[in-house]
Structures are given as C-alpha cells and as structure tokens.
Amino acid sequence: MHWYILTPLDVLLFRDAKPFTPGERAWAGGSFPPHGHTLAGALRGVLGNATLKLRGPFLCYGEELYFPRPLGYVKDERLIPVPWLQETHPEHPARFMLWDESLPAPLVQFKKKDSNPKKSGERPYLPSSVVQKVLQNQPLEEKDWRLEEGEDGKPWKVESRSHNAIAPGTRQVKDADGYFVENAVRLKPGWGLAIGLEQQIPHSPTTVQLGGEGHRVLVEEAPKTVGEQWEAIQEISQKNFEGGGKAIAYLVTPGVFEHPKKCRQGKLQARCRAWPWEWDLPENGTPNGGPLVSVATDRAIPINGRIRDNKQKSIPAPQVFAAPPGSCYYLERPQSLFQDNPKAQRSQKLGYSELLWMAY
C-alpha cells in the first residue's frame, strides 16, 4: 500500500447529493471529507483507467492519521447494550427496560453523568495513538477525548460564497437563476487528507483537481510513519477479530450497506440501512440467530456518484445513503462481510465501509 498526503492549494468545493438548481434551492451544500467517488475521479488524471483500490480518506496532521470519534463512546466511557449489561450487572436499573426487539437494543451509560461538566466538548477526530488505545481497551485520559480550551472541533472552516448573475442592461440580479450560495471548505494550517493506494502515482509530487471549480490539491508521498500507523491499527484489529467472543465493529469511512429487497410491486429495489445486511438480529428467523445486538450511529450521508452508460457518457449514478464514519456495531461474535473477499463490490475498492474491530 502506497500512502499519499493531499494538501489543498485553495479552498475546496463539494456539493452534496441533493438536486440543485439555482433559483429553486439557493444553497448548494457540501460534505467533507470527500467521498471515494470524488477521489477516484480526481486520481483518474494521474492513474488513467487502471483499476483503482484505495483506503481512506483520513484526516492527517503532520505525520499522524486522525479517525472519526467512535459514536459508541460518551467522553471516556463506552456505551453498553442493555442485554450485555443485564448479563454482567443484574442489579442495574436497565433490567427493567423494554424495547422493540425487532430493532437493535438500546445503549446505556453505566457510570453516572458528570455533575460538573466543563465547557469544552469532545474531539470529533482522534489521532491514531488514541485509536490504538481504544482498540486495545486501554483507559482514556481526559486529553485523549476532550477539546482544549478555545480549540475548535473540526480541523476545517466552512466559507459561504455567493454567486450573482446580473440581468442584461441593468444593475440588478436576475429574478430567475440569478443568485445562489456555495459552501467552500478551507482546511486549517498543517492539516491534509491521507489516502492509501495499491497503485503508485508516477511523477510524485503532482497536483490534481479535487472537487468543483477547478480547485487543486498537492499530492505527495506520505512519510513512512503514516503507513506504519495504519499497519499497527490493522494488526490490532485483526487480532481482535480472530479472538472471537463479544466484539464491536468500528466504522472509520462511510458505510455503504446496500442490498436488493422486494418492494410492494414484487420488484427488486436496492435498499440501504445503517448496518450490514449480513448481520441479522437474533430474532430475525436465522437458523442460529444473528450476531447483531445494537448499533450506535447518526444521520445517514447521501452519496451520488457517476457512472458511464452504454454510450460511454457520464451520467448520475443511483443515490445511496451511507452510515456515517464513527458508527459502532455490537455483535455477539465477529462476522466477516462479503466486501472482505476478492469479489468485493466496487464501493469497498473506493474506500467505503472500512471496519476496525474491538474486543468487548
């Protein structure tokens, strides 16, 4: 795996997957970090039509990788599914909890809430050194998860930029399609994006266009320490997976979990959900019961890539809804996914659905 750092040379513009027409929707929103489809389109200029397989993107500061904070944590405490808490602490008030067992079980906080919380919040991104502690079940220190005084959570700023079109012969903005606003992303000094590629980029360092409006990023080889951090994390994750027993899968890139399901008309339609379709709940009628117990996730991320039709024209691809990075899945036993075998879908080759494993 060859690792590269992408450093923006200007602001970056990314639009979300919502339909946009100036005049009908005045704001053109965006999402950051960019998705695998966006990165693949940018890298085509230097890699051609070679089969692309990448890891990431991950935020990077200096020579250290940063990962989204696990959503299964509140401060330094890991949330616990009610069934697991009932097994280990039968005296806990959660023993009286009832829920719809056709859905993932609720998650509860075992410790009491902090009576004197500080003003600063939780860090949305954790360095690789802290992620290794999380995977190894080591206790977290306050500096690992809490923002420092005056520190902003996200390592980028959003700048709103208006676009005006003047009506001919006047000094007034057009009544129709004359005004809209785009959100540009500016990374803070020292920050960049790290990606891992199976292919080596020739003539590195180089520049590529990333996102809209022709804005470019500098692509250069990452220090060896970046690849070593990823290998160390992968080694811990694989050891946890092979250990068996209760486990937690930690999603570090958007999770595209798509599966065909029959609709009311009897036709197959692709459906997305917040957890992999291979993981069933224990009461879903599987022979031995499914491994999934609970899920910690957030709002879905809409992704709309592009494909080529029969005439080799670029057209919008069907929209998918990805689980956000940081989602955590609590399982009775580790279970691999179809994406892990050599016949994996294209979405996995573009960096989606990257899972790390924690032993519970």
Take residue 203 and report the two structure tokens written for it: 């003539």
Q: Report CA-CA distances (Å) from 99 to 83, 96, 107.
A: 11, 10, 11
Global confidence as pTM? 0.88
Take residue 150 and report the two structure tokens written for it: 């005056």
Spatial separation of the C-alpha atoms in residues 148 and 168, rounded to whole Å: 52
Take residue 87 and report the two structure tokens written for it: 């097994």
pLDDT tens digits, one per residue of 189-201: 999 999 999 989 9
- pLDDT at position 17 is 61
H or E element that contains 81: strand 80-81
- pLDDT at position 162 is 72
Provide the residue type at 62 as one letter: G
Q: Are 258 and 271 in contact (CB under 8 A)?
A: yes
Query: What is the DSSP code (8-state) at residue 122?
Result: B
- pLDDT at position 333 is 92
Residue 259, strand partner residues: 271
Q: Are 95 and 31 in contact (CB under 8 A)?
A: no
Spatial separation of the C-alpha atoms in residues 183 and 214, rounded to whole Å: 15
SS3 of residue 345 by DSSP: coil
Spatial separation of the C-alpha atoms in residues 276 and 352, rounded to whole Å: 12
SS3 of residue 99 by DSSP: coil
> How many CB atoms are located within 10 Å of the residue 320 CB?
21
Low-confidence ranges of the chain (pLDDT < 70): 16-30, 112-120, 150-151, 163-180, 264, 283-288, 341-348
Provide the residue type at 107 as one letter: L
Domain ranges of the chain: 2-359
Q: Are 55 and 351 in contact (CB under 8 A)?
A: yes
Closest CA to 155 of 264, 302, 26, 7: 7
Q: Look-up: residue for tokens 């795996």? A: 1
- pLDDT at position 128 is 96
SS3 of residue 242 by DSSP: helix
| CA within 13 Å, CB half, 305 | 19
Would you put residue 135 in left (φ > 0), alpha (ψ -120 to 50) or beta?
A: alpha
pLDDT tens digits, one per residue of 269-278: 778 889 998 8
Give helix then strand counts, H and E, for the chain.
Answer: 6, 25
CA angle 321, 212, 188 (to 5 degrees): 85
Take residue 155 and report the two structure tokens written for it: 């390592």
Take residue 335 and report the two structure tokens written for it: 């279970």
Distance, CA of 263 to chain centre: 28
Closest CA to 57 of 75, 80, 78, 32: 32
Spatial separation of the C-alpha atoms in residues 81 and 72, rounded to whole Å: 10
Spatial separation of the C-alpha atoms in residues 122 and 186, rounded to whole Å: 22
